Amino acid sequence: MTDKHKSQKTVEGTPSDMARRRIAVFGSTGSIGTQALEVIAANPNLFSAEILTAQSNDELLVKQALKFQPNLVVIGDEKKYEKVKAGLAATDIKVFAGEKALEEAAGMDCYDLMLAAIVGYAGLRPTLQAIRQGKPVALANKETLVVAGDIVIKTAVENRVPIIPVDSEHSAIFQCLVGETRNKIEKIVLTASGGPFLGRKPNYLVNVKREHALQHPNWSMGAKISIDSATLMNKGLEMIEAKWLFNLEPDQIQVVIHPQSIIHSMVQFEDGSIKAQMGLPDMKLPIQYGLSFPQRIPNQFPRLDFRKFNTLTFEEPDMRTFRNLGLAIEALEKGGNLAAIMNAANEIAVYAFLRNRVNFLDMTDVIEKTMHKIPFIKEPTLEEYLESDGEARSYAADLIKL
């Protein structure tokens, strides 16, 4: 075992209680995953990458593994196993493949903290496994909480496992809450950029294509979340994510459009005081904070200069045009398995839109019909959540004739 594989070793010249953390990057080839590896590479004394996983991008996974020398890698697509194995033949890095292997890797002891950066429902099982194993989770994968938030949070509480949000809005709220443990939240304000179609109306949206929807004004992100941002479903998912992370009632969560994406979100306390967390829109900051929490560590990221941003604006979201937000609020208020159903239908709708199989506005109809078709369960078990996900997926796929 090399030095870097030893657990919790305090490093000279770093904050005294900041032990070196062995990170498991689940979804290392994605937008969040690659930025996390940049953070890890910039802080070799503080972090190492011990597990890397990808679904199908074998070439990038091999390249990352050669650079970071993790303990093991997992490739989701089993057909790619031989290629990854061959690419890493000259190393002692272990290679696994398949969905089950992802969960097994999450249950291993060779890491200290999971960065959950898989996209979609696929992130749920490995994340839950890490929590059961007592591993802290830096959570980017919001769908995990949307699908089964009550079970994920209950498991985390039972195992005394911290979940540190990486989603920029939730990281902002989390940062505003540091030192406020005894103080109640009156409400939170989730800021939304409004996406590439801010101010547009249905007659415009009916014709937009994948290429337009993927052009986000402020953030460069994976395809699925880019479409979710364009439809405002992303903000809906984030409302549900916030409910579970911060134990809030639906009416304590407000969404406001803030096109400059400088205020990442806000918390209002019982005395009316509002705290905001601000900065340039750069996911590397919440990723780094998620990995280093509770410490802040220095970096070279560009700084916000207020003299260049003299106008910060706020407006109400247009819920008549962006109806996904209303559907998400319905799921937030009703609870049960409705958010899991909505999430599954949304994943199918986005998949179809990205392949030009449905138009932009049809996505909402697919989600709405699926939400009102699949049987509602008030207090689902994990199995029932998974079943609802499957039923919703096949119903939505049938609607689109996928």
Regarding 241 and contact with Mg ion (CB under 5 A), the answer is no
Residues 6 or more apart whose CB falls under 8 angstroms from that of 203 comprise: none
Task: Give the Cα separation of 36 and 286 in Å (integer).
Answer: 10
Among Mg ion, ligand NAD, none, residue 140 binds (CB under 5-8 Å by kind): ligand NAD
Task: Give the Cα separation of 381 and 281 in Å (integer).
Answer: 38
195 SS3 class: coil
Residues 36-55 that bind ligand NAD (CB under 6 A): 54-55
Which two three-digit tokens encode residue 78?
Answer: 């089993």
- Per-residue binding letters, 3-32, with ligand NAD (x by CB under 6 A): ------------------------xxxxxx
Q: Where do runs of H (alpha helix) occur along 247-306? A: 284-292
Which stretch in 166-174, 181-189, 298-306, 359-367 sits in contact with Mg ion by CB under 5 A?
A: 166-174
Least Cβ distance, residue 270 to ligand NAD (angstroms): 29
Rounded to an integer, what is the distance from CA 369 to the centroid of its chain?
25
Task: Give the Cα separation of 131 and 107 in Å (integer).
Answer: 9
Number of residues that bind Mg ion (CB under 5 A): 3
Sign of CA dihedral 391, 394, 397, 401: negative
Strand partners, 53: 26, 74
Task: Give the Cα separation of 46 and 44 in Å (integer).
Answer: 5
Regarding 58 and contact with ligand NAD (CB under 6 A), the answer is no
- Per-residue binding letters, 180-219, with ligand NAD (x by CB under 6 A): ---------------------------------------x
Task: Give the Cα separation of 26 and 73 in Å (integer).
Answer: 10
Judged by CB, which is closer to ligand NAD: 20, or 138?
Answer: 138
Cis peptide, bond prior to residue 317, ω within 30 of zero: no
Judged by CB, which is closer to ligand NAD: 138, or 257?
Answer: 138
- Per-residue binding letters, 218-247, with ligand NAD (x by CB under 6 A): -x-xxxxx----------------------
Q: Greatest CA span in the chain, whole angstroms?
A: 62
Least Cβ distance, residue 247 to ligand NAD (angstroms): 20
Least Cβ distance, residue 169 to ligand NAD (angstroms): 8
Regarding 282 and contact with Mg ion (CB under 5 A), the answer is no
Judged by CB, which is closer to Mg ion: 70, or 165?
Answer: 165
Structural contact between residues 87 and 109, judged by C-beta atoms closer than 8 angstroms: no
Residue environment code for 84-113, b if the CB has 16+ CB neighbours within 10 A, otherwise e: bbebbeeeebbbbbeeebbbebbebebbbb
Least Cβ distance, residue 31 to ligand NAD (angstroms): 4
Least Cβ distance, residue 76 to Mg ion (angstroms): 24
Name the residue with the smallest CB distance to Mg ion: 167
Regarding 76 and contact with ligand NAD (CB under 6 A), the answer is yes
- Per-residue binding letters, 116-145, with ligand NAD (x by CB under 6 A): -xxx--x-----------------xxxx--
Which stretch in 37-45, 100-108, 132-140, 161-169 sits in contact with Mg ion by CB under 5 A?
A: 161-169
Regarding 167 and contact with Mg ion (CB under 5 A), the answer is yes
Integer CA distances (angstroms), 236 to 146, 190, 228, 293, 298, in order: 10, 10, 9, 26, 33
Task: Give the Cα separation of 70 and 362 in Å (integer).
Answer: 43
Q: What is the DSSP letter of 10?
A: B
Among Mg ion, ligand NAD, none, residue 222 binds (CB under 5-8 Å by kind): ligand NAD
The residues binding Mg ion (CB under 5 A) are 167-169
The residues binding ligand NAD (CB under 6 A) are 27-33, 54-55, 57, 76, 102, 117-119, 122, 140-143, 167, 219, 221-225, 283
